[in-house]
Structure 1
Amino acid sequence: MDAISSTGRGTPETEEAVQRPARERNPRGQGERLRDEIVSATLRLLDELADDQALSLRAVAREVGVAATSVYIHFADRDALVFAALERCHRDLSLALDEAENAPGDPVTRLRARLLVLATWVRRHPGLYKVLHESTLNQRTHLAFKDELTQRATAAVRRCMDAGLAPVDDDAAVAMDLRMAVHGAVSMRVNEPDAAWPPLEEQIDRFLTKLVGVRL
């Protein structure tokens, strides 16, 4: 077992990676490239494991093709590495949401598109979704970058109200109800994938109608 405690701290392993071919050394000044590769490998493993506690820095090193000590050069412990991976995950998801919110259509159309983007992303990355929202790191640490999703959801609901397409109400409260409904629906699908769930798109339309008060 790796010398890593439940808090994610450990001591650097010194043995070389053996399951993958040795990675070529980055030219001088390209350490950031290795850091990006480590984060990308971590995202792949977290998506497979669906559990941050099951991740080991040695496994990440093997995935990249470097010695475990190379991982510790960039990340002090597992928590720091998982945080960096989730931050990248959030950034990539935000870019996809940007495309939906900037697409042609009225505010309701764009809000619906935003929710469908989230649903599509969860279908593709159920493991990452669980880590992003159910990990021990998420429970122990405030992931400040997630606040942006809350703010943007509220702004999207407010645009529907300002356009006269939804009843004027407390936009933050309505957006929170909507987010909780959608996250509950996708979380149940992730945790019980074999259940006979109704089409998520239909549920999202009902949430929009009943919780936001829009007409589709």
Structure 2
Amino acid sequence: MSEPAVTRSAKPAAPPTPRRTRRRASRGSGEQLRAEIVAATKDLLATAPNSDAVSIRAVADAVGVTSPSIYLHFADKDELIEAVVADVFAELDAAMVAAGEQADKPLDRLCAFGLAYVQFALEHPEHYRIATMSQPLHTDDVGASHIDQVLADSAFTHFMATVEACMDAGIFTKGNALAVTLQLWSAAHGIASLMIAKPFLPWGDKLTTANDVLRSAALGHAVNDLMGGEMTPADVDRWLARQRQAR
């Protein structure tokens, strides 16, 4: 006679991942929910290794809603991430204004703006990478994203206004302020992106190094303008020799 079958108890299921309990939204609170989604994504993006590690499900759990609720406000994850980065970069405006208030002269203010820009990038590396080193998926007719518009209306505006002030003060030759702003912004972006991409290089104190780079770029442009705007390496050698002799 066969042994009776032994009934085994089922293995208890793992407890579900705790999620925030959210009260039912009141009428007209759509903008508040959107702001909460952006804030939660901002926090997740700040601690994640990259944007790929931030999922819609994780955002929904952090806010306390279902994933479909996210899609009521954003067409897809890329649109959400871009909105978050644009929101973060709006904060750059305040950081640059605060830095510029400490400088009375336009050249000092230009370097202060540049240093505030680099510091902001270093404090928000993933946001900065998405904003300036990734191909945007949502653009307008000229290829600009919402993030680009935020930068144009804040950081870039401050840079160019200060370049124009340097021209008015005779530090730079009056001319195409837009071209000069792009050149000096390239210096700020270059050192910021390198420090983010290659943090293992022997930078020393990063802000000190960044400040040296920014001052060198601004001074180099001023000297080049002083010498007619077309200095060659030989011209630089002769100019430096005269400066040393004058000491």
Question: TM-score, normalising length from structure 1?
Answer: 0.79
* Distance (whole Å) between structure 1 residues aligned to residue 121 and residue 82 of structure 2: 19
Query: Which one-letter code corresponds to 1:184 in the other structure?
Result: G
**Cα deviation, residue 98, structure 1:** 2.5
**Cα deviation, residue 50, structure 1:** 5.7
1:86-108 deviations in Å (ceiling 9; x for gaps): 22122111122223334451111
Q: State whether structure 2 residue 219 is matched by structure 1 residue 209.
A: yes
- Which deviates more, 29-38 or 44-53? 44-53
Query: Which one-letter code corresponds to 1:99 in the other structure?
Result: A
Query: Which one-letter code corresponds to 2:217 in the other structure?
Result: F
- 2:242 is aligned to none
Query: Which one-letter code corresponds to 1:203 in the other structure?
Result: V
Q: Structure 1 vs Structure 2: percent identity of aligned residues?
A: 31
Q: State whether structure 2 residue 90 is matched by structure 1 residue 91.
A: yes
- 1:157 is aligned to 163
- 1:142 is aligned to 144
Contact 2:37–2:59 (8 Å) recurs in 1: yes
* Distance (whole Å) between structure 2 residues aligned to residue 19 and residue 126 of structure 1: 29
User: Structure 2 matches for 1:98-113, cutoff 5 A?
Assistant: 98-113=97-112
Give ranges in structure 2 of 5+ residues lacking alignment.
1-15, 226-247
1:166-194 deviations in Å (ceiling 9; x for gaps): 33343222211111111111101000111
DSSP-derived class of the 1:22 partner: coil
* Distance (whole Å) between structure 2 residues aligned to residue 133 and residue 47 of structure 1: 16
Q: State whether structure 2 residue 42 is matched by structure 1 residue 37.
A: no
User: Structure 2 matches for 1:7-86, cutoff 5 A?
Assistant: 18-49=17-48, 51-86=50-85
Contact 2:103–2:112 (8 Å) recurs in 1: no
DSSP-derived class of the 1:137 partner: coil
Structure 1's 81 and 158: CA in aligned 2 closer, same or farther, altered over 3 A? same
Structure 1's 168 and 101: CA in aligned 2 closer, same or farther, altered over 3 A? same
Q: Which has the higher contact order (CA 8 A, sep 6+)?
A: 1
Contact 1:46–1:131 (8 Å) recurs in 2: no
**Cα deviation, residue 163, structure 1:** 1.5
Structure 1's 192 and 52: CA in aligned 2 closer, same or farther, altered over 3 A? same
- 2:195 is aligned to 189
Contact 1:52–1:137 (8 Å) recurs in 2: no
* Distance (whole Å) between structure 2 residues aligned to residue 46 and residue 40 of structure 1: 10
Give ranges in structure 1 of 5+ residues lacking alignment.
1-16
Bigger radius of gyration among the two: 2
1:107-153 deviations in Å (ceiling 9; x for gaps): 11221111111122122111111111123426965224133333432
* Distance (whole Å) between structure 2 residues aligned to residue 60 and residue 124 of structure 1: 22
DSSP-derived class of the 1:178 partner: helix
